[in-house]
Structure 1
Amino acid sequence: MRRATTAQPVDATAATVDEAPLVEVQDLHKTFRRGAGFLRRGGTAVRAVDGVGFSIREGETLGIVGESGSGKSTTGRLLLRLLEPDSGRVRFAGQDVLSVSRSEFRRRRRDMQMIFQDPYASLDPTKTIGASVGEPLKIFENLSRAERDDRVREMLGRVGLRPDYLTRYPAEMSGGQRQRVAIARALSINPRLVVADEAVSALDVSTQSDVLNLMRHLQRDLRLTYLFISHNLSVVRHMSDRIAVMYLGRIVETGPAEQVYLEPLHPYTRALLSAIPVPDPLAQRSRPKIVLTGDVPDPAHPPAGCNFVSRCPLAMSMCHEVDPGLEPMRESSAVACHLHTGNSR
């Protein structure tokens, strides 16, 4: 049984008082059933997302980072209702998107699009690039065939692809080119929010840089809002205004990107940062390294107290008993750690 000394705040990454956020997520929960039988009955409950809350201002990028299994991708899918949450609240432009029917939400999906990790899997191999990019336009826009083709050519140009790519198939393109097509398709209907789920992790390093720079330029030109999900903290730093660090279904630290990167508060964030290589061999050898022992706990049976206690090199006795709430700290930051919340005294 967990005992929490403080409740997790409604919004750990709140926008400023005078600017309403475009996206507000409050106390989001999602549980899967492992080993469930027919009609998903029985089995073991696995808490994939456990009380997550955040907000994103229009034109801003919130980066979510964490190891595989931390719940970051599930959070992105819950936001767009690709998965249905068990409980919680999601507001987009002031409207509760979870309270409407799926058919009504489908009409609102033009403002909320997703870029997936694998550009080849997300594109129909039997359709030309023109057909793939034009598909959202057929659904959401009342355009003639000629007008639709013109819009597709315009979007291909925006992502750095020639008009003749319109008649090609995904198998004829490189990974970076396919991801540019996926970006063009997501942006073809002028969304306000884009969820990028590991959008560059399948690409080589040089191509990653090109695609990331493209996404930043498009954000500036089109005033896009990004939820950028990645396991790579250096990539998240490059893209994000603010960062939320997830571990075992919960946000354990959040704050301005540079602050989280340069002055991390949570031991898990420090461990992630220490694992990032630096190009200087001397500096790399002299850097303090934080090696986490043990495996990530089974989310079906999380530890009592703090989720991170079984791997934390700084764990105290109370960490095994009391679950730390995510508490506000300096300059719009928040952390879930007894070392910083004052409970250790």
Structure 2
Amino acid sequence: MRQPAEAVSAPTEPAPLLEVEDLRKSFPRGGGLLGRRGTAVRAVDGVSFTIRAGETLGIVGESGSGKSTTGRLLLRLLEPDSGRLHFDGRDLLAESRSAFRHRRRDLQMIFQDPYASLDPTKTIGTSVGEPLRIFDKLARRERDNRVRELLGLVGLRPDHLSRYPSEMSGGQRQRVAIARALSVAPRLLVADEAVSALDVSTQSDVLNLMRRLQRELDLTYLFISHNLSVVRHMSDRIAVMYLGRIVEIGPADQVHLEPRHPYTRALLSAIPVPDPLVQRTRPRIVLTGDVPDPAHPPQGCNFVTRCPHAAPVCHEVDPVLEPDGGGYAVACHMSGVTRERQR
């Protein structure tokens, strides 16, 4: 007699490599001449997202939106006021500073200005080899051999090992910064405006290098930039930040082609199109009104003072980031209206 077939359970999706929940960070503002207690600027105000292993999440927004602060909080270069940070199932905020120091090899950062992040008094070999000395306790000869391998990996020659940062171009210095970040075999790289200080052709070379390294080394990226075109090129998903909050998050192509938040639409309309005819005829969204003081955000939606579609509810009720069940979420009471007007 045939036995009943066992129920086959659906494959479960692997847990995210990084889980961020309700992350918050405020900075005190000075109290003035009379010594009164100052107000607090909410730089990161309840940010939540996940990143799966091997993917790239892009974060985009204007200057002051909280992008860079979010990246620094993940590596605990700044300590959050509250929230949860889980990396590979471990609670990063529950670890002491000394314990987290060993975790730091899994999470590395590529900074915006490679000249500022490299010690001008040290050779490239010393700068790239320093993490190997600290974490792996490698002897000098072993370090030098490993540094040569790393320089080759990022497209630099072995003779760059003895040079100083001032003897290299901006693109070469950023390749050195990438090599140093890779020296301890991290699993997650936070790239904070990693190409914004470079010219356009060099940007393209560095971006293609980062994509190749991601494939070869199975890296995961948090890619922070104010440039939506660059973020789309690099990212699997995009999160748009405004005044310390994520207002829209979803697959990169969907965010780029069918934005649901008026702020995202305004950012996209500012991107120049290479076709002069299209550029002259395409609609441009120019935001009016003032950017709110992050220490005193408006009642209701943070974007209400600049939004062309603001309704009475926007002045009263703070919208939450509502997922649609398909991997997309937007914090906007009028997202349905703006989508209809797009069509």
1:293 to 288, 299, 302: 288
1:245 alignment partner in structure 2: 240
1:97 alignment partner in structure 2: 92
2:49 alignment partner in structure 1: 54
Task: Name the CA distance, whole Å, in 2 between partners of 1:214 and 1:307.
Answer: 37
1:167 alignment partner in structure 2: 162
Matches within 5 A, 1:1-345: 18-35=13-30, 42-329=37-324, 331-340=326-335
The alpha-carbon deviation at position 44 of structure 1 amounts to: 1.2
TM-superposition CA deviations, 1:239-279 (whole Å, max 9, x none): 00000000000000000000000000000000000000011
Task: Name the CA distance, whole Å, in 2 between partners of 1:70 and 1:253.
Answer: 13
The alpha-carbon deviation at position 318 of structure 1 amounts to: 1.0
Task: Name the CA distance, whole Å, in 1 between partners of 2:140 and 2:334.
Answer: 61
SS at match of 2:334: helix
TM-superposition CA deviations, 1:188-245 (whole Å, max 9, x none): 1100000000000000111000000000000000000000000000000000000000
The alpha-carbon deviation at position 294 of structure 1 amounts to: 2.4
The answer to whether the 8 A contact 2:260-2:336 is kept is no
Unmatched tracts of structure 2, length 5 or more? 1-10, 338-343
The answer to whether the 8 A contact 2:301-2:315 is kept is yes
The answer to whether the 8 A contact 2:66-2:241 is kept is yes
- Per the normalisation by structure 1, the TM-score is 0.92
Task: Name the CA distance, whole Å, in 1 between partners of 2:61 and 2:263.
Answer: 9
The alpha-carbon deviation at position 341 of structure 1 amounts to: 7.2
SS at match of 1:259: helix
Task: Name the CA distance, whole Å, in 2 between partners of 1:17 and 1:83.
Answer: 34
The alpha-carbon deviation at position 19 of structure 1 amounts to: 1.2
The answer to whether the 8 A contact 2:301-2:318 is kept is yes
The answer to whether the 8 A contact 2:193-2:224 is kept is yes
The sequence identity of aligned pairs, in percent, is 80
Task: Name the CA distance, whole Å, in 1 between partners of 2:325 and 2:203.
Answer: 33
The answer to whether the 8 A contact 2:133-2:139 is kept is no
Q: 1:323 to 1:240 in 2, by over 3 A?
A: same
The answer to whether the 8 A contact 2:39-2:295 is kept is yes
The answer to whether the 8 A contact 1:196-1:228 is kept is yes
The answer to whether the 8 A contact 1:33-1:42 is kept is no
The answer to whether the 8 A contact 2:120-2:165 is kept is yes
The alpha-carbon deviation at position 179 of structure 1 amounts to: 0.3
Task: Name the CA distance, whole Å, in 2 between partners of 1:144 and 1:204.
Answer: 38
Unmatched tracts of structure 1, length 5 or more? 1-15
Task: Name the CA distance, whole Å, in 2 between partners of 1:167 and 1:289.
Answer: 50
The alpha-carbon deviation at position 68 of structure 1 amounts to: 0.3
Root-mean-square deviation (CA, aligned residues, Å) is 1.5
SS at match of 2:291: coil
1:8 alignment partner in structure 2: none
